[in-house]
Amino acid sequence: MNVAADLLRKSAAAMAESVRAGSVSAGALVQASLARIVATDGRVNAFTERTQQRALQRAAALDAQLAAGGENAQALRALPLLGVPFAVKNLFDIEGISTLAGSKIERESPPAKADAALVQRLEAAGAVLVGALNMDEYAYGFTTENSHEGPARNPHDLTRIAGGSSGGSGAAVAAGQVPLTLGSDTNGSIRVPASLCGVFGLKPTFGRLPRTGSYPFVSSLDHLGPFARSVRDLALAYDAMQGPETGAVRDPGCLQRAAEPVAPLLVQGAQSLQGLRIGVLGGFFRARATPDALAVVDRAAAALGATESVELPMVQAGRAAAFLITNSEGAALHLHDLRKRPEDFEPLSRDRFLAGTLLPAAWIARAQRVRRLYAESVARVFDRFDVLLAPATPCAATPIGAEHFEIGGQRLPVRPNMGVLTQPISCIGLPVCAVPVWGGDERAAPLPSKLPIGVQVIAAPWREDLVLRVAAALEAAGVAHAPVAQL
């Protein structure tokens, strides 16, 4: 195995350090990433577009500037993601390419005139975009069984789902195609694929990162964030994307906060959790999880010394409110196409969007009031706890095509209920890191019968530093890890 291909299986931080030291070129890393995609994506189906020419040109430009030396080369060597290949869910704008958002309809849209804000920020940090990734149509689903592009497959068991709606984003990282990806999370669409594909995923606080240049699903609930195979890589990507917007076009939902870097804290020993009050969510979150999902949370809690159980108030009302807001706002966005060309929608998405058009306005107004009361009630829980733990999904990845699973004696549809444990958290915009925990020996190579299930590490708004500290501690203890799939 050559140096670049070997590095591709390691962390983004290691890749950038190798480019910085001159032991590998950015071009070699990008070529290794593209070769891995060619070799594996026929089976995984994570990518819907490869930006090969753009990536090779950008990598060559980086290498030329480094070789030229001088102040420019010195500035480049300071970039945290120098030469690191990455890819994005295909609802992020990529200059010159139509933004599909997982749909057939958007194939007729004109190409994007500029990259999305977060794509620009990652490239400003030295990263190199290599393509766009598969997703549920218009982000409305938890399985990425896309009828237009085909299903994204779980790299650890190709017969199973990758989760959704950012399924391609989770699968590409797990498959070792790229070390970093971007996804979106409205009701769980980062945390679900991170859980099922066995990678780390960060859903920041609502309003923390700008959504400019991304196709919306539910503007009241949409978040954007990264996937990676290590907590440090998550932190490096997150730090690169933080900060207020300065351009003429801005995301009105972004709260324009100054950057609050977290990666330096991890280097300084964030694994020390002295003084943190960590609780384990019970009630709703244990009743809707399989024994396997409860086991991974209990393993994480034991490693952290967390023994106190806590129940969130109003959690079922909060999830109901999120359902109504999602259904109504999502439908309103597509009303014209639902009237004119309903046959071009993915059938399950179309039916739910049509249902959303019929919801009374009074219900949505009430749902927003309930959401506010729920947020205020949960805020009081953080007077007693700094961090909360819960399963990210109720079970491990289900087979592609499976329509139901059983939890607590109930037979439930997979598509809406794979996010049953994530939706109540994103409804009120809390920061969460999904950390992958495996069946069997946590350090053993995963087997199809021993698939990962993620643990949600949850904190109060704007405390991404806490969720990443706890995630880093679980990673350092060997409880959480993200191996590259054996494809």
The catalytic site residues sit at 89, 165, 189
**Rounded-to-integer distance, Cα 107 and Cα 110, Å:** 8
**Rounded-to-integer distance, Cα 381 and Cα 311, Å:** 9
What is the DSSP code (8-state) at residue 3?
H
**Rounded-to-integer distance, Cα 294 and Cα 453, Å:** 10
Type and span of the H or E element at 89: strand 85-89
11's tokens: 């962390």
Is the peptide bond preceding residue 165 cis, with omega within 30 degrees of 0? yes
Phi and psi dihedrals of 138, rounded to 5? Answer: 50, 25
**Rounded-to-integer distance, Cα 114 and Cα 120, Å:** 9
388's tokens: 């909360």
**Burial bucket for residue 360 (CB in 10 Å: 0-12, 13-18, 19+):** exposed
Question: Which residue's structure tokens are 């329509």?
Answer: 403
8 Å CB contact between 141 and 415? yes
Rounded alpha-carbon distances, angstroms, from residue 470 to 46, 365, 392: 29, 36, 15
**Burial bucket for residue 362 (CB in 10 Å: 0-12, 13-18, 19+):** exposed
**Rounded-to-integer distance, Cα 466 and Cα 430, Å:** 12
**Rounded-to-integer distance, Cα 25 and Cα 15, Å:** 9
- Spatial CA neighbour of 213 closest among 254, 177, 169: 254
For residue 46, give the 3-state DSSP assignment: coil
**Which residues does residue 281 pair with via DSSP β-bridges, in sequence order?**
310
Residues 6 or more apart whose Cβ sits within 8 Å of residue 79: 16, 125, 126
**What's the length of the chain?**
487
8 Å CB contact between 455 and 392? yes
Which parts of 22-135 fold into alpha helices (H)?
26-44, 52-68, 70-77, 117-124
